[in-house]
Amino acid sequence: MIHSATLTLQHTLSPIADNNRLRLFSGSANVPLSQEVARYLGMDLGPMVRKRFADGELYIQIQESIRGCDVYLIQPTCHPVNDNLMELLIMIDACRRASARQITAVIPYYGYARADRKTAGRESITAKLVANLIVKAGASRILAMDLHSAQIQGYFDIPFDHVYGSPVILDYLASKQLSDIVVVSPDVGGVARARAFAKKLDDAPLAIIDKRRQAHNVAEVMNVIGDVKGKTAVLVDDMIDTAGTISEAAKILRKEGARQVYACATHAVFSPPAIERLSSGVLEEVIVTNTIPVAEQDRFKQLTMLSVANVLGETIWRVHEDSSVSSMFR
């Protein structure tokens, strides 16, 4: 079940003044989220033909005039990553060739973001490669949520609005009235994210997991920096992929005396064997958002999904009205 966010976004703007120029389209990656965004904006998703040729090639046609319009294309590049990325590129190209005035790629989850720099010889920086592809396809603006690395914004030479799912998660945690909270970063690289999260939780104390990674998707947890004994530990990350990091972190937090352990992440990537690890009982609750759809058969009793449709819808509203986006998160 997806919980509607109780986060209240205050409209300080008049209704969209030039609604005839605003168009909203959805890729196939997360149609339910796109529909929620459309409902928030009080409009319908634009009509589109999407089909495949016998060899798997994608065909897309926009089925209404968008000449001179501001077009917003909602498409997270989640599993199947290559198909969804290619679909986004084709959608952008179709809109550019249809003479859209401005094309905004709304990417709730930005895939290929983990390779954001070279850590060894002869590696590709895929985060930059994807940025180049999106810009070359014809996007004039990007709207993304909780990038794996904030520096990815700098890979684009077009306007970039980076928004966050944390207000929705924080609002939900506040409703649970947890006591003696300590916010835990599952690795050193996530300290800035965890610190910002802790500040919003009445300056909760911070702990860090010292982790040594032996290979991709394999994590070895070593020890905890900080006091978690007798406390409610809240693990904070941008994504949960195979859940190796989160599950190992939860185990060592319990070993160090944490009373309860919660996991919070914006993106529920959930590659196997994530479901088995997360539902094993080491976590009281796994709190994620619906930037990535989770199939019904992959839901488990500890899972709570929160909707970020209001955040994305409000951001689209403000971008279209040339209003401040950053003020939403102050």
Q: Which residue has the higher pLDDT, 111 or 222?
A: 111
CA distance 22 to 16: 9
Percent of the chain with pLDDT over 90: 87
Question: For residue 137, which phi and psi values (nearest 5 degrees)?
Answer: -65, -25
Instruction: Count CB-CB contacts under 10 A for residue 222.
Output: 11
* Nearest residue to 79 (alpha-carbon basis) of 270, 299, 286: 270
pLDDT band at residue 315 using 50, 70 and 90 as cut-offs: very high
Q: What pLDDT is stored for residue 210 in this prediction?
A: 87
Torsion of Cα atoms, 62 then 2 then 246 then 30, to 10°: -10
Q: Please compute the mean of the pLDDT values over residues 262-281 and round it to a whole number.
A: 97
pLDDT digits (tens, 9 = 90+) for 195-215: 999 999 999 999 999 876 666
Give this prediction's pTM.
Answer: 0.91
What is each CA distance from 273 to 67, 112, 149, 252, 263, in whole angstroms? 46, 20, 24, 19, 16
pLDDT digits (tens, 9 = 90+) for 8-46: 555 544 445 456 799 999 999 999 999 999 999 999 999
| From 118, 128, 136, 211, the catalytic residue | 211
* Nearest residue to 45 (alpha-carbon basis) of 91, 82, 84: 91
**pLDDT at residue 321 greater than cutoff 90:** yes
80-84, 90-94, 222-226, 304-308: which has the minimum mean pLDDT?
A: 222-226
The yes-or-no answer on residue 211 being catalytic is yes
pLDDT digits (tens, 9 = 90+) for 132-153: 999 999 999 999 999 999 999 9
pLDDT band at residue 330 using 50, 70 and 90 as cut-offs: confident
272: Cβ contacts below 8 Å, ≥ 6 apart: 242
How far apart are the two ends of the chain, measured CA to CA in Å?
Answer: 29
What is each CA distance from 311 to 108, 145, 202, 228, in whole angstroms? 11, 10, 22, 32
Question: Could you tell me the strand order of the sheet in which 2-3 lies?
Answer: 2-3, 303-306, 285-289, 260-268, 232-240, 181-185, 206-215, 218-225
What is residue 288's DSSP assignment?
E
245: three-class secondary structure by DSSP: helix
